[in-house]
């Protein structure tokens, strides 16, 4: 939204004798810039899905889908290699993931090539657009609409559903209604707008995919690819009350569930379901190994602790998270410790960083809140080994 809003700032203020904008010629440069932004979002999102992590996103999304009431159980189980004893991704799940990744890279190419034919009206002194160009653009639009409709109907957890609706409308507007504006018109863009597009559409995503620890996954355009930074907070139940020292508009996620459903709701939803959901994703499959390490090698101590996803901590401490793991990394741990004053062993922090593109290593670190600049343990997880691991 922000990038497109900035593009609109370059909309010409005049273009006709009465000061109003008339015709696509007057806004062609801005429409071209909007197309570049939208194509960049699709392409980088597709590139970020190239890796062993994306099939686990499909598996978790379909297994949590509420849109298949009649075949729901069979559909959910078909995503697993051998339910319930083997919860690795099935061949069908991997096929869907590869098809989705391929589609997200294919239809932007079709729209870029055939965009000038879709909805384009030729003038009398202009050669008519070739039919194959029109067909290519229409095929791209059909694939695009099907792609985003599938995601929307799955009601994926943590995904902004309105984005998929907006993107479909955007595709119809940019590559359908205004298909006559060609990417060849890039040469007409103002230099400041060209520089802006190069930075946000090329430089930042490239850096973010190659060095994810330095750039948010949002500006890197690695949307819902399954390769995001993850943090888990383990707070001793005897020290849980210290979190109330944080000034917040609401209580913790656990407190809210307690008020609604009682202790059973807290254990089922805040601890059981959230932990299971994260463990189903590829970086989350490190948790069965890392949680015992954080507890001094004794997994039996887990009952002494409250389990928090970092997003939940950021939600009540910052009022915002949107799934970006760096918002609940070491800097938030330092601020929480400064306010809560946990003693040694009362708050353990597990952070799993993103895997760089074309690499297979997940860096991780375990930290005690009393020493947020140090670490209890650190290492790397191999993505190719994790894809053969069970989540629980």
What is the 8-class DSSP label of residue 300? G
Of the two residues 179 and 227, the one the predictor is more confident about is 227
In eight-state DSSP terms, residue 352 is E
Name the residue with higher pLDDT: 126 or 132.
132
Taking the C-alpha atoms of residue 89 and residue 213, their distance in angstroms, rounded to an integer, is 27
Burial class (CB in 10 A: 0-12, 13-18, 19+), 101: buried
- Is 108 a residue whose pLDDT tops 90? yes
Helix axes 330-340, 310-317, angle to 10 degrees: 60
How far does CA 118 lie from the centroid of its chain?
A: 30
The CA-atom distances, in angstroms, between 159 and each of 23, 349, 359, 367 are 36, 25, 26, 29
Most confident of 147-156, 249-258, 330-339: 330-339
Mean pLDDT of 22-44: 81
Q: Tokens for 250, please give them.
A: 């609401």
Higher pLDDT, 159 or 378: 378
Predicted local confidence at residue 119, as pLDDT: 53
pLDDT at 265 over 90: no
Check residue 23 and give its pLDDT: 46
CA distance 153 to 62: 10
Is the pLDDT at 258 greater than 90? The verdict is no
C-alpha closest to that of 369 among 331, 333, 329: 333
DSSP three-state, residue 321: coil
How would you class 159 by CB atoms within 10 Å of its CB: exposed for 0-12, middle for 13-18, buried for 19 or more?
middle
* Residue 225 CB-density burial (10 A; 0-12 exposed, 13-18 middle, 19+ buried): buried
Question: DSSP E strands: which ranges in the chain?
Answer: 80-82, 86-89, 230-236, 305-309, 347-352, 361-368, 377-382
* Mean pLDDT, range 34-42, rounded to an integer: 94
Contact assessment for residue 196 and residue 30, using Cβ atoms and an 8 Å cutoff: no
pLDDT score recorded for residue 381: 93
Q: Give this prediction's pTM.
A: 0.87
236-247 residue pLDDT tens: 999 999 999 999
Mean pLDDT on 141-146: 95
172-212 per-position pLDDT tens digit: 999 888 777 777 777 888 889 999 999 999 999 999 999 99
Residue ranges covered by each domain of the chain: 1-214, 230-388
pLDDT for the residue numbered 73: 72
Q: What is the pLDDT of residue 127?
A: 57
13 pLDDT exceeds 60?
no
Range with lowest mean pLDDT among 138-142, 196-200, 217-221: 217-221
pLDDT of residue 337: 96
Confidence of residue 14 (pLDDT cuts 50, 70, 90): very low
Residues 6+ apart with CB under 8 A from 279: 285, 287, 288, 391, 392
Contacts (Cβ under 8 Å, ≥6 apart) of 286: 352, 362, 364, 381, 386
Contacts of 163 (CB under 8 A, 6+ apart): none
Q: Average the pLDDT over 300-321 and give the result.
A: 88
CA dihedral 378, 239, 266, 217 (to 10 degrees): -40
- Residue 287 CA to residue 153 CA, distance in Å, equals 30
35 three-state secondary structure: helix
> How far is Cα 79 from Cα 63, in angstroms, rounded to an integer?
7
What is the secondary structure of 179-245 as a DSSP string?
Answer: TTS-GGGGGGS-HHHHHHHHIIIIIHHHHHHHSGGGS-TTTTT-TTSS---EEEEEEEGGGGGGGGG
Q: What is the mean pLDDT of the chain?
A: 85
Q: To 10 degrees, what angle do helices 131-154 and 161-172 make?
A: 170
Comparing 370 with 253, which gets the higher pLDDT?
370
Bridge partners of 58, per DSSP, are none
What per-residue confidence (pLDDT) applies to 269?
A: 67
Would you state the pLDDT for residue 161?
83
Report how far apart, in Å, the C-alpha atoms of 267 and of each of 224, 242, 258, 274, 319 are.
Answer: 27, 19, 9, 10, 23
Q: Grade residue 17 by pLDDT with cuts at 50, 70 and 90.
A: very low
């Amino acid at each position: 939204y922000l990038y497109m809003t900035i593009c609109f700032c370059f909309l010409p203020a005049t273009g006709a004798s009465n000061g109003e904008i008339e015709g696509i010629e007057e806004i062609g440069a801005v429409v071209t810039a909007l197309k570049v932004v939208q194509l960049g979002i699709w392409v980088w999102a597709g590139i970020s899905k190239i890796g062993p992590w994306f099939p686990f996103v499909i598996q978790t999304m379909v297994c949590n889908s509420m849109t298949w009431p009649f075949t729901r159980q069979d559909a959910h189980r078909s995503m697993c290699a051998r339910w319930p004893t083997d919860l690795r991704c099935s061949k069908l799940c991997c096929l869907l993931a590869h098809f989705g990744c391929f589609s997200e890279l294919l239809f932007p190419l079709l729209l870029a090539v055939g965009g000038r034919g879709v909805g384009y009206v030729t003038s009398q002194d202009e050669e008519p657009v070739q039919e194959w160009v029109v067909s290519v653009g229409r095929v791209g639009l059909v694939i695009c609409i099907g792609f985003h409709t599938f995601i929307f109907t799955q009601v994926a957890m943590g995904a902004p559903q309105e984005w998929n609706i907006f993107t479909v409308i955007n595709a119809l507007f940019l590559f359908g209604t205004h298909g006559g504006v060609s990417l060849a018109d890039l040469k007409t863009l103002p230099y400041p707008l060209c520089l802006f597009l190069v930075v946000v559409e090329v430089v930042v995503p490239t850096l973010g995919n190659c060095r994810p620890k330095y750039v948010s996954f949002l500006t890197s355009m690695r949307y819902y690819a399954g390769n995001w930074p993850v943090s888990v907070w383990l707070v001793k139940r005897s020290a849980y009350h210290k979190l109330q020292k944080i000034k917040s508009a609401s209580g913790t996620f656990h407190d809210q569930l307690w008020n609604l459903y009682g202790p059973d709701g807290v254990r089922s939803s805040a601890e059981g379901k959230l932990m299971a959901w994260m463990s189903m994703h590829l970086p989350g499959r490190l948790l069965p190994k890392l949680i015992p390490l954080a507890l001094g090698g004794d997994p039996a101590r887990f009952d002494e602790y409250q389990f928090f996803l970092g997003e939940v901590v950021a939600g009540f401490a910052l009022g915002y998270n949107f799934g970006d793991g760096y918002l609940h990394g070491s800097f938030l741990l330092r601020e929480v410790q400064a306010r809560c004053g946990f003693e040694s062993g009362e708050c353990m922090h597990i952070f799993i960083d993103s895997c760089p593109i074309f690499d297979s290593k997940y860096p991780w670190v375990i930290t005690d809140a009393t020493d947020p600049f140090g670490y209890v343990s650190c290492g790397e997880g191999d993505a190719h080994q994790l894809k053969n691991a069970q989540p629980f």
